[in-house]
């Protein structure tokens, strides 16, 4: 499994704009092949947010990046203090835990 993370910080008062972007984009993300889950996490006190998307394979994540990135990155960069740089993480699970899933 892979996780793509978009981590960003907004100026104060931009939570509503971030939620509007997520309301539009999360259904699009969830409809992509190989998407296992998608969640938006918030730390309102300092305007820090992250979008986490779990993918079955790296190929699924890379294929979806072309569809999603061109839409979400410009929107997030308008409200973010710094340019948003998505990162793709490979998920490691010990073999003893993999048997439970």
In total, how many domains does the chain have?
1
Q: 7-33: per-residue pLDDT in tens?
A: 999 977 789 999 999 999 999 999 999
Query: Which residues, at least 6 apart from 62, have a Cβ–Cβ distance to it below 8 Å?
Result: 88
Q: What is the CATH number of the domain that holds 46?
A: 3.30.70.100
Query: Which residues, at least 6 apart from 16, have a Cβ–Cβ distance to it below 8 Å?
Result: none
Strand order in the sheet with 35-43: 35-43, 48-55, 2-9, 87-90
Q: 37-96: per-residue pLDDT in tens?
A: 999 999 988 899 999 999 999 999 999 999 999 999 999 999 999 999 999 999 998 988
Residue ranges making up the domain that contains 57: 2-98
Local structure of 30: helix, strand or coil: helix
């Amino acid at each position: 499994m892979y996780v793509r993370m978009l981590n960003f910080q907004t100026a104060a008062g931009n939570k509503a704009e971030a939620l509007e972007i997520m309301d539009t984009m999360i259904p699009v993300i969830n409809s992509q092949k190989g998407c296992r889950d998608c969640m938006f996490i918030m730390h309102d006190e300092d305007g820090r947010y992250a979008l986490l998307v779990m993918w079955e394979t790296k190929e699924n994540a890379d294929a979806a990046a072309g569809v999603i990135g061109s839409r979400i990155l410009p929107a997030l960069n308008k409200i973010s203090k710094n340019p948003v740089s998505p990162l793709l993480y490979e998920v490691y699970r010990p073999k003893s835990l993999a048997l439970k899933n």
